[in-house]
Amino acid sequence: MRQPRHFSSMPRYYFDLREGDQIALDEEGLEFDSLDQAQVEAARSLAELARDAIRHAPHRFSYQKSVEVRDDSGPVMEARFTFKLEKK
């Protein structure tokens, strides 16, 4: 016997990563109860990206990356990180 499908009432948010003119689209997304929870996830993702960029930074380095959050209706938020390193 076939099981009934359960549909979630939580909105699905997609976290696209942008670096300069390049964008990596999130095709799967994540479900959250609210936009505030999606904001926490965007901040967590951006912190990981920043940590990795800083860890592997050369002597002089400028870096800007953003997480563009959208739902099924379109864009809802952008979180951006800019980093500049100059070793003396």
User: What pLDDT shows up at residue 63?
Assistant: 77
> 26: Cβ–Cβ under 8 A, 6 or more apart, which residues?
14, 15, 16, 17
- Domain membership of residue 32 (yes or no) is yes
Sort strands 74-86 and 60-71 into parallel, antiparallel or unpaired.
antiparallel
Helix (H/G/I), strand (E/B), else coil: 69: strand
Task: Mark the ranges of the chain whose per-residue pLDDT is less than 50.
Answer: 5
Write out the residue range of the structural domain in which residue 79 sits.
12-86
Strands (E), 42-73: 60-71
User: What pLDDT shows up at residue 44?
Assistant: 94
**DSSP state letter for 56:** T
User: What pLDDT shows up at residue 68?
Assistant: 96
- Domain membership of residue 6 (yes or no) is no
- Domain membership of residue 71 (yes or no) is yes
Structural domain count of the chain? 1
- Domain membership of residue 41 (yes or no) is yes
User: What pLDDT shows up at residue 7?
Assistant: 61
- Domain membership of residue 3 (yes or no) is no
d(C-alpha 28, C-alpha 20), whole Å: 23
User: What pLDDT shows up at residue 6?
Assistant: 52
